[in-house]
Amino acid sequence: MIWKFITFLVRKLEPEIAHQISLIALKLGFHPRLKRIEIPVKINNLHFTNFLGVAAGFDKNAQIIERIHYLNFGLTEVGTITPLPQYGNPKPRVFRLEKDKAIINRNGFNNLGMAQAIKKLKNYRKKFPVGSDFILGVNIGPNKDSNDRFNDYEILSKNLSEFADYLTINISSPNTPNLRDFHQTNNLKKVLISVKNGIAKSKSLDLQLPIFLKIAPDISKNDLKQIIETANENNISGLIISNTTVDRNKELQSDNLHETGGLSGIPLFNKSTNFLALASKIIKIKKYNLYLIAAGGVSDSKSAYAKILCGAHLVQLYSSMTFDGPLIAENILKGLLQLMNRDKISSIKDIRGIVDNPEDAMKIANNGLKDYL
């Protein structure tokens, strides 16, 4: 009860201030200590204690990786990290949509830069080496004013890959001008070449390091097909679907709905999950060995269950932590185990990708698998 009350109080503050206070509290150890819940997932050589993770954007500067362990997540993703420090867009740039349980942000890759991130990552890896049972992803992106964004990706992968269990290439933030142009096949191939060149020059020389592409939900179905083809051809591990959207749901009720930036939270669920299901279907038909990380609108055990039903191997969240506080993972995992028990499911791989749309997935989550079969 105390954590709900604290979350309620913090949410009364301006969003960026509230976020900074949350980070400070976590760094100081002011958070619940929870018994680990295991729902194991294996992706290539990565073994996840459970499928639930914190999306990039929460811990931009790799400050609280260790503390996320205690909140019952199986993975976390730091960043987006750029080569040079970057202030981002002018404030205010984060807006809560309280009535919709959503957030609009136009941060613009605000972070302390690669050099500061390396210091934090080195300290973390002294205690928890690569391959530890808590999986760390490093999310990378170019500086806004870079003269050569392809080179930015190479520099970042060269210097950061030794600390990562996997790398995420961010080509999808709506708040960095023209970044989404990298969804185009020729540009995407150049990005992937740059990242792989960087890894080849890194201290780790881990050419098998998993690489994920974080994509936008606002691209066309044909664009998605081309991205999947390119990912497969270049031996990319998988996709993160999805980043925030620039679309605005007609049913939004909050005062801040007209702010520019990327929309996240519950209103993103249907759009991102539709894209997830489509990607899962394409990958199955083509028989590609690509994995899917689902992000967008995950707020409880049923929405997480729906993501898995639509093809997710892993699930990430961020906005729901703002509204529900540090017990969100605990509640989702316990609830999902209850749903699995209800549906007599021993492993989430048994239900992964059996549904091709979020509407049917939520029906199953609400009513049970027996009514669907």
Which residues participate in catalysis according to the annotation?
Answer: 173
Give phi and psi for 60, each to the nearest 5.
-60, -35
Tokens 């808590």 belong to residue: 134
Q: How far apart are CA 347 and CA 336, in angstroms?
A: 11
Q: How far apart are CA 220 and CA 217, in angstroms?
A: 8
Name residues whose C-beta falls within 8 Å of residue 158's C-beta, 6 or more positions apart in sequence: 197, 198, 199, 201, 202
Contact 166, 135 (CB under 8 A): yes
Residue type, 261: G
How far apart, in Å, do the first and last CA atoms of the chain sit? 39
Q: How many Cβ atoms sit within 10 Å of the Cβ of residue 158?
A: 20
Neighbour-count burial of 264, counting CB atoms closer than 10 A to its CB (0-12 exposed, 13-18 middle, 19+ buried): buried
Q: How many Cβ atoms sit within 10 Å of the Cβ of residue 198?
A: 22
Crossing angle for the helix pair 328-342 and 301-309, nearest 10 degrees? Answer: 60
Could you give the C-alpha distances from 337 to 72, 310, 327, 365, in angstroms and in order? 14, 18, 16, 12
Crossing angle for the helix pair 269-286 and 301-309, nearest 10 degrees? Answer: 30
